[in-house]
C-alpha cells in the first residue's frame, strides 16, 4: 500500500455526513501531526467550504486550478494543491463544473482510473500520510473513479430511519468496483448525527452490527450545533471549538480510523 493511505468517504444517501466527516477527520489527523491532503470531489464544494470562505471557494471553482480541470487534462494533482490555514493540511479544491464530469468521462480511455493516475505521483512521493477524498451522493462513473483511487472507503451513515435505506445498493456498487480495483477495502461505517436520547439510535446500531464482515466504528458522532456554527465560519469543528463534544468525538474517531487503516 505504501506510506500514503488514500481514504474516500462515500454514500449515495445525501446528507449522511460525508463532507463533515472528511473535513473533521482530516483536520484531526493534521492536529495529530499527520500530513493530510484533502480532495474535494463534489460539485457542492462542501469540503472546500469547510476550510475557506465562500468568496475564496467560488473564485477557485470558477478558475483553472481545481479538480475539474485536472481531471479534464489528466494532469498530476500536485499543481492544484493549496495550503489550508492549518498546519499539515492541504486541499485540492473542486468546481461546480463537476456536475458534467460523468458525461465527460464517458469517452475517455480507461475512464475509471483517471483520478488514480492524477494522484499517482503524490502517492509515490509519500509526502502525505493520508489523502482523504470527499465523494458526491451518487453511484456513477465519477464515484467509481474516487473508489478506484482509494485504498480504503469509509461509509458515513446517518442514524435515522432513512439513513440506512439504499445501503444495499452501495455495497452492490462496491462489489462491482472491487472487480476492477481488487485491493479496495471497506474500512468501516461511521455513524453520524446521532441523537442518543432516541431509541432509534439503538436500532440503527443493532441493524448495522448485523451486517456481516462490515466494521462499525466504535466512536459515533452525535448531533451538535457546534458543527453547524463551525461550518458557518468555514472552520472545522476540531479547530473552531476544541472543547465541543463533536470536536472530541471527531478526534477520537480519527484515532480509531488511523489505527484501523494502518493495519
Query: Least distance (Å) from ligand ATP to the CB of residue 148?
Result: 20
Query: Least distance (Å) from ligand ATP to the CB of residue 245?
Result: 9
Q: Which is nearer to ligand ATP, 4 or 150 (CB)?
A: 150
Does 19 sit near ligand ATP (CB under 6 A)?
yes
- State the first-to-last Cα distance of the chain, in angstroms, to the nearest integer: 11
Task: Yes or no: say if 13 and 162 are a contact pair by the CB < 8 Å rule.
Answer: yes
By CB under 6 A, what part of segment 230-259 binds ligand ATP? 231, 246
Q: Which does 230 bind (CB under 5 to 8 A by kind): ligand ATP, Mg ion, none?
A: none
* 169-208 as b/e: b if 16+ CB within 10 A: ebeebbeebeeebeebbbbbbbbbbbeeeeeebeebeeeb
What cell was used for 46?
462542501
Query: Least distance (Å) from ligand ATP to the CB of residue 73?
Result: 25
Does 44 sit near ligand ATP (CB under 6 A)?
yes
Q: Which does 141 bind (CB under 5 to 8 A by kind): ligand ATP, Mg ion, none?
A: none
Q: Which is nearer to ligand ATP, 44 or 234 (CB)?
A: 44
Closest CA to 150 of 194, 198, 107, 116: 116
Does 40 sit near ligand ATP (CB under 6 A)?
no
Task: Yes or no: say if 84 and 235 are a contact pair by the CB < 8 Å rule.
Answer: no
**CA separation, residue 183 to residues 35, 73, 115, 153, 215 (Å):** 23, 27, 16, 11, 17
* Contacting positions for ligand ATP (CB under 6 A): 14-20, 42, 44, 46, 136-137, 192-193, 221, 223-224, 227-228, 231, 246
Amino acid at each position: 500500500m505504501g506510506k500514503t493511505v488514500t481514504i474516500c468517504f462515500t454514500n449515495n444517501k445525501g446528507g449522511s455526513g460525508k463532507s463533515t466527516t472528511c473535513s473533521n477527520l482530516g483536520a484531526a489527523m493534521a492536529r495529530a501531526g499527520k500530513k493530510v491532503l484533502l480532495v474535494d470531489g463534489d460539485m457542492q464544494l462542501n469540503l472546500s467550504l469547510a476550510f475557506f470562505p465562500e468568496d475564496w471557494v467560488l473564485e477557485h471553482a470558477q478558475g483553472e486550478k481545481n479538480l475539474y480541470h485536472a481531471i479534464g487534462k489528466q494532469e498530476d494533482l500536485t499543481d492544484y494543491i493549496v495550503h489550508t490555514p492549518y498546519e499539515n493540511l492541504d486541499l485540492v479544491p473542486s468546481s461546480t463544473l463537476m456536475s458534467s464530469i460523468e458525461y465527460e468521462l464517458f469517452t475517455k480511455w480507461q475512464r475509471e482510473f483517471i483520478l488514480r493516475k492524477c494522484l499517482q505521483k503524490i502517492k509515490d512521493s509519500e509526502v502525505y500520510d493520508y489523502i482523504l477524498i470527499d465523494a458526491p451522493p451518487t453511484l456513477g462513473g465519477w464515484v467509481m473513479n474516487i473508489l478506484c483511487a482509494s485504498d480504503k472507503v469509509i461509509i458515513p451513515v446517518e442514524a435515522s430511519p432513512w439513513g440506512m435505506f439504499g445501503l444495499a445498493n452501495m455495497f452492490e456498487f462496491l462489489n462491482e468496483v472491487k472487480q476492477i480495483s481488487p485491493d479496495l477495502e471497506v474500512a468501516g461505517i461511521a455513524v453520524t448525527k446521532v441523537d442518543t436520547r432516541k431509541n432509534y439510535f439503538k436500532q440503527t446500531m443493532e441493524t448495522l452490527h448485523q451486517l456481516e464482515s462490515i466494521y462499525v466504528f466504535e466512536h459515533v458522532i452525535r448531533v451538535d450545533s457546534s458543527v453547524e456554527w463551525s461550518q458557518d465560519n468555514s472552520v472545522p469543528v476540531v479547530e473552531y471549538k476544541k472543547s465541543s463534544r463533536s470536536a472530541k468525538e471527531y478526534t477520537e474517531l480519527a484515532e480509531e480510523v488511523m489505527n484501523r487503516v494502518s493495519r
